[in-house]
Amino acid sequence: MGDKLRAEGIKPRLLGYTWIDATEREYTYMSLSGNYKPFSVVFQAMFFRMLWQAGISEPRQFATDEDVQFLIDAHDKEPMRPGAAECISKLRDAGFTVWAFTAGDLKRVGGYFKSAGVDLPSENLLSCDTRGVGKPSPEAYRPLLEQLQKHGQPWFAAAHMWDVSAARRTGFKGAYCTVFEKEPLLELFGDMEVVADTLPEMADKIISMS
């Protein structure tokens, strides 16, 4: 759809970002209001609304359900962020047990690790879908925190500042990587134990501070 979007003055990258960003907002609002829906369900439903907000007067004539499914399938096959596999390897070599806690579904997120050649045991991959409570609610993080606190104060690392800052307020140590958002915005979200520009550097700082 790239050429069609550009012909309308819509940058595909910006549309992709706003689609995910708006989905995160609606997903969170629904969870807070007691109407939890899996992220993937909200994501698919939001696409035509985003075309409307981008200036397409007849979104369902501009794109089809098949187009949306193509984009979702591509999203499901995205590679992990640069340096993610090395980051995990560094932490494991230093004696850490690595968990993943996602608002996405287990199959999709588990596929990211598998495609990157990272072995992540199924019991160490958790989704908000299991309890029906979305991040950044403290109740989403608290069960994992209570489980891991038995072994000391755990770290929470993310490339979304809203995510890691919420986990930190719940009781985790916080590590943030700017690989996705570029700007930490500490004046909004507060201090972090670790801020790094790459995921391997973030791992090194966590290890150093531990």
HSE, side-chain direction, 13 A CA sphere, residue 173: 16
pTM metric for this prediction? 0.91
Q: What angle do CA 117, 69, 32 make, to 5 degrees?
A: 85
Asked whether the predicted pLDDT for residue 47 surpasses 90, the reply is: yes
Structural tokens at position 162: 């809203």
pLDDT, tens only, 135-193: 999 999 999 999 999 888 999 999 999 999 999 999 999 999 999 999 999 999 999 99
The pLDDT of residue 102 is 96
Query: What phi, psi does 126 have (nearest 5°)?
Result: -120, 150
Tell me if residue 20 falls in helix, strand or coil.
helix
pLDDT of residue 13 exceeding 90: yes
d(CA 20, CA 48): 13
Q: Rounded to the nearest 10 degrees, how much is the dihedral formed by the CA atoms of 115, 129, 23, 47? A: 70
For residues 186 and 158, give the distance between their C-alpha atoms in angstroms, rounded to a whole number.
Answer: 14
- What residue segments make up the domains of the chain, in order of their start? 2-76, 84-209
- Please list the alpha-helical segments (H only) found in 155-198: 161-170, 186-189
Distance, in Å, from the CA atom of 84 to the CA atom of 103, rounded to the nearest integer, reads 18
Q: How far apart are CA 106 and CA 129, in angstroms?
A: 9
pLDDT of 45 over the 90 cut:
yes
Question: What's the topology of domain 84-209?
Answer: Rossmann fold (3.40.50)
Under a CB-based contact definition with an 8 Å cutoff, are residues 143 and 101 in contact? no
How much of the chain, in percent, has pLDDT values that exceed 90? 96
Q: What is the arithmetic mean of pLDDT over 21-34?
A: 96
Q: Are 135 and 169 in contact (CB under 8 A)?
A: no
pLDDT digits (tens, 9 = 90+) for 56-86: 999 999 999 999 999 999 998 889 999 999 9
Residue 151's pLDDT is 86
> What are the two backbone dihedrals, phi and then psi, of residue 50, each rounded to the nearest 5 degrees?
-65, -35
C-beta neighbour count of 106 within 10 angstroms: 15
